Structure 1
Amino acid sequence: MSGFNPLSTAGLKRLETERQREKALNLTRRFSDERQALMSILKKSPTIKAMQEWMGEEEISSFTKKKFVVKKPVKEHHDPHPAKPAPGFMDRLLGRSAKIEQDYQDRCAMVDADNAEAERRYDASIAEWEAQWSKHEADQAKTEKAEAARIEDANQKIRDIKKAWQDGDAETVVQYVAAIMRMSDHPPPLAPRVELQYDKTAKLLLIDYWLPLPSDMPTTKTVRYNATSGEFSTTQISQTDAKALYDNMCYQACLRTIRDTFRGDKPKNIDTIVFNGNVTAVNAATGKKSTETIMSILVGRDAIAGIDFKNVDPKACFKSLKGVSASSLSGLAAVVPVIKFNKTDKRFIKAEEVELVEDGSVNLAAMGWEEFEHLVRQVFEREFASRGGEVKITQSSADGGVDAIAFDPDPITGGKIVIQAKRYTRPVGVSAVRDLYGTAQSEGASKGILVTTADFGPDAYKFVQGKPITLLNGGHLLHLLEKHGMRARIDIAQARRELGLSSKISGRAQG
């Protein structure tokens, strides 16, 4: 009787078929699990303790002093004096007694000298050991002091944030809500991007929340493998079930965001939350991407106090709280937001159009700094226009602040973007980049862009690694201008001559 041979052609084909069918089964289970996770969003939440310690816990010093491993020198054994010889009869008879005594004294002197040398070596080794020990103790004390200072500095920052949170500082309240968003376990395709605005006087928080599209949902019901064709085939859940899945997910995401934000708000800085659920999709009428609000709700803290969110029907709960939406969210029908996200800023000024001559002869490095800032705004406005974004220029200031602010509605890469323009004739140092990073954080921006006619120093490039900061040098700027039908050039040496700059560059003349 012949058995199954896994190494035969038929055996290998059978093993491959089993492997592919197992893969298809695992995919079916994965899609099912993803749908189940989306149906259970309200059943999960960060702990109250985690939400109330969102700024981090204070660190306790755990410094352990390193042992001094150098052994202490041991005193060498001292040799004793030799036994004193007694002169014999013949020694005395022949007069050798004095010689014997002298030899004895010489041997004793040699022993004393050897012992003295051993004592000197011991004293020297002890002095060296004590110096090493003192250095070790001083190094350990210095390290312990530095570690204590680091911990105190980190803890003080936490205490400062905690106090600002308790005092209702607007920026800190926004940081709190962003932290709660990060803590929440959002199953795919939920990867919320939000814009937040807080009115301290009204204790009102406005959340603009970008939702995924119906096409992003895990609607695959089964995955099967056909051994004959070697291909996978899929079946989908019904359109009715797909619409219900999308609607349910949106309502749950909205309610959970509101619930978690209120639950963790220990200082009660927030009395009212406005949630606008937005989507960015291609408009069927225009063929262009646009952002629309498909659900909007204004709800007070007291209104949700008695709700058991784990057992509610999400849509019924949303409607009972006077939420506004179409009968089905999956149709992406726009509604009027209860309150719109305020993009007005008293710093914004009227934009001016900059005309560049067609032959590209304008030297950007010699352009007036105000004109240069308007040009940067202009080219970025064209860059963001295809996505429905907008760019506003701010009033000129000498504090290195924001030169322009872009609002990009793209749900993945967009958000509020701060832009600074530096018409420099020397490389931009790391301090300017560090200032932009701080400005982006204080503005609550998702990204910062620094544009210059020159280049950036190596420290600047090193600083931005892993940070949401983009550096655009003169070459990048010329390429961006050309992309949008604008030509110019950058001649640093000529600009320095025209601007009358010496080897030292001062103040505003650089940027």
Structure 2
Amino acid sequence: MARRSTLWTEIARDRELRQRQNARAVRVHQQVAKELATDAARARQADDRDAKARERERIEAERHAGLNEADNQNARLEARVDELAALLKTCVSAPPVTVEQLTAIQLPPFVPGPDGVALEPPERPVMQDGGLLSRSRRRREYEQAVEQYASAFEQYKARDRGRVARLEALREAHRQHVEDLRAAAVDRAANLRAGLRDGVEAVVEEFAVQAIAMLQLPDGIGLEPKAAYRRDPREIVVDIQLPDTKVLPTEKSVKYVHVRRSFTVKERSRNELANMYGGLLATLPLCVAQLLFSSLDAEVLDSVTVNGILPTADRATGRPVARCLVSVTTSRSTFDELVLDSPELDPVLCMRELGAKLSPHPLDYEEVLPFLTFELAKYRLDLSVDVAAGMDGRVNLSTMDWGEFEQLIRQLLQEMTGADSRVTRRSKDDGIDGVVFDCNAVLGGEFIVQAKRYRNVVPANDVRALAGVMHDKRANHAIFVTTAWFSDDGRRFALDNRVRLVEGPELKHLLRVHLGLDVLVPSARRRRRAGANDAGVGPAA
């Protein structure tokens, strides 16, 4: 009984021990699981904190980037405003344009090409030491290599002499080309100086256009000048192309709104834009006039007229139009009294002081009438005289003075078109007796006129010559008025080349209808003899 009791006691003790071990193992497992769960939770918390920190850093970086971009845009806006405001000061501080600047050339560098690279000489042979070959064998191979080297070296020297010869020829050709360019530049400078000294119209116009093109202007502003110079009054008329309102910074400021992750723009008021654009329109002609007066001598230039032309589109029709928004004419003495580099000077008030015409509503591109148009300045115009008022009785065109006849034709065309009609001076008129501007739709545009008193047929060559002058002057049309008649060839040529022909009978009719004058046209030979008289044209005696 004692042994059985002891056995059950041992069994119970072992069971209890295993139960305690199992319980301890469970507790250890639970503890490990709990620690793992705690570590995982801490890791997730750490990841969340890192993610939030990165998000905060991203948002902050985004905010700083937005603020920096807004600051950069505001800086660009301010720089553009300052650049436009300081344009007059920049132009005034620039030195005058000289002949040397206009005739300076960029000399091309010498480019030798492949012949500029030295040839590689053949490699000199070397006597081999040791090896499997005997000394005598090595010696024979070395001597053969020396002979081959000598032949190859002679060929190398011949090729190199040819290369050097070609290189020297290229160098000499380049030197001669550079000398020719320099000589041409010197000749061009001499011709330009002589032309400016003598007041040659074409030379002065070329100098003015190139000088204006050298003005340092803000981006988006290209004047594309056209110049017409008249020597007798020492006057130059310049048409410059104005920029539209797109060159203005319409935004006043830019602000970054972080909450909306976007930029808000504050626009400039219409009044502010009008003042800014009006100031630009006033500044550009002042810059051009200052440059011309400072670059051309007083013996050449005494008066400047600048017209600012804006190429745009008609809002009603969509057709392209050119509108004059500013026009100023001033003499050298008046302009020299201005202190353009004064910080207190207002370009708009300065232009008003000069009596300039400025668009009253520049943002609407409202036009002004120019003082003197570029088209008028192209011609040597004379004073207009009313000769029709002094004619009594029946007028015989054959006995009229040439100048009075041209003035009579001018009056006739002006009465017919209602446009500005002028006569040219007798000397250097390029074969033009008159000009009509801004004609009606029938005539159209700029119209050059030639008026001749002939008794015989006008040959086709005279019509062709007038058409050539029309193209040279870039006029829209031409009219040839004569007291005689035109050849059939001249008529056909005129129909195809925008030349309007007026013969004696039609001229007589037009003078009676539009000026109330009953005139006598010089007796003309019968038209059937036109072919015979084509070669012999004689003006009225």
* TM-score normalised per structure 1: 0.52
Unaligned runs of 5+ in 2: 1-45, 128-135, 380-440, 449-461, 477-541
**Structure 2 counterparts to residues 63-102 of structure 1, below 5 A:** none
Whole-Å Cα distance in 2 between the matches of residues 29 and 67 of structure 1? 51
Whole-Å Cα distance in 1 between the matches of residues 255 and 161 of structure 2? 74
Cα separation, partners in 2 of 1:21 and 1:126, compared to 1, 3 Å? closer
Whole-Å Cα distance in 1 between the matches of residues 65 and 118 of structure 2? 59
Choose the corresponding residue for 1:339, options 372, 384, 396. 372
Cα separation, partners in 2 of 1:404 and 1:259, compared to 1, 3 Å? closer
Q: 1:191 Cα deviation (Å)?
A: 3.0
Percent identical pairs in the alignment equals: 16
Specify the SS of the correspondent of 1:209: strand
Cα separation, partners in 2 of 1:57 and 1:288, compared to 1, 3 Å? closer
Whole-Å Cα distance in 1 between the matches of residues 104 and 79 of structure 2? 34
Choose the corresponding residue for 1:18, options 37, 51, 64. 64
Whole-Å Cα distance in 2 between the matches of residues 24 and 217 of structure 1? 19
Letter in 1 for 2:172: K
Whole-Å Cα distance in 2 between the matches of residues 288 and 220 of structure 1? 30
Match of 1:28 in 2: 74
Whole-Å Cα distance in 2 between the matches of residues 343 and 4 of structure 1? 77
Match of 1:313 in 2: 346
Contact 1:4 1:11 in 2 (8 A): no
Match of 2:191 in 1: 164
Q: 1:280 Cα deviation (Å)?
A: 3.8
Question: Looking at CA atoms only, which structure, 1 or 2, has the larger radius of gyration?
Answer: 2
Whole-Å Cα distance in 2 between the matches of residues 199 and 55 of structure 1? 22
Cα separation, partners in 2 of 1:170 and 1:144, compared to 1, 3 Å? farther
Whole-Å Cα distance in 2 between the matches of residues 165 and 217 of structure 1? 38
**Structure 2 counterparts to residues 38-49 of structure 1, below 5 A:** 38-45=84-91, 47-48=94-95
Whole-Å Cα distance in 2 between the matches of residues 344 and 265 of structure 1? 19
Specify the SS of the correspondent of 2:226: strand
**Structure 2 counterparts to residues 55-134 of structure 1, below 5 A:** 55-58=102-105, 127-134=154-161
Specify the SS of the correspondent of 2:212: helix
Q: 1:123 Cα deviation (Å)?
A: 7.2
Whole-Å Cα distance in 2 between the matches of residues 392 and 124 of structure 1? 82
Match of 1:453 in 2: none
**Structure 2 counterparts to residues 346-385 of structure 1, below 5 A:** none
Letter in 1 for 2:347: P
Kindly provide the CA deviation profile for residues 320-369 of structure 1, in whole angstroms up to 9, marking residues without a partner as x: 333233556455443221111218999xxxxxxxxxxxxxxxxxxxxxxx
Match of 1:323 in 2: 356
Match of 1:297 in 2: 328
**Structure 2 counterparts to residues 51-450 of structure 1, below 5 A:** 51-58=98-105, 127-166=154-193, 167-168=195-196, 169-214=200-245, 216-265=247-296, 269-281=300-312, 290-311=321-342, 312-325=345-358, 329-330=362-363, 332-342=365-375
Contact 1:391 1:404 in 2 (8 A): no
Cα separation, partners in 2 of 1:18 and 1:333, compared to 1, 3 Å? same
Q: 1:52 Cα deviation (Å)?
A: 4.0
User: Pairwise CA RMSD of aligned residues?
Assistant: 4.7
Kindly provide the CA deviation profile for residues 128-148 of structure 1, in whole angstroms up to 9, marking residues without a partner as x: 355334323321221112111
Contact 2:121 2:153 in 1 (8 A): no
Match of 1:432 in 2: none
Say which is worse superposed, 131-140 or 118-127, in terms of deviation. Answer: 118-127
Letter in 1 for 2:177: R
Specify the SS of the correspondent of 2:221: coil
Specify the SS of the correspondent of 2:73: helix
Contact 2:213 2:224 in 1 (8 A): no
Letter in 2 for 1:35: V
Paired residues, what number?
Answer: 331
Specify the SS of the correspondent of 2:374: coil
Letter in 2 for 1:33: A
Specify the SS of the correspondent of 1:212: coil
Kindly provide the CA deviation profile for residues 24-58 of structure 1, in whole angstroms up to 9, marking residues without a partner as x: 23222212221111111012138437654333425
Cα separation, partners in 2 of 1:120 and 1:25, compared to 1, 3 Å? closer
Match of 1:470 in 2: none
Cα separation, partners in 2 of 1:67 and 1:294, compared to 1, 3 Å? closer
Match of 1:450 in 2: none
Q: 1:153 Cα deviation (Å)?
A: 2.9
Letter in 2 for 1:135: G
Structure with higher helix content: 2
Say which is worse superposed, 299-308 or 118-127, in terms of deviation. Answer: 118-127
Cα separation, partners in 2 of 1:268 and 1:60, compared to 1, 3 Å? farther
Contact 1:392 1:405 in 2 (8 A): no
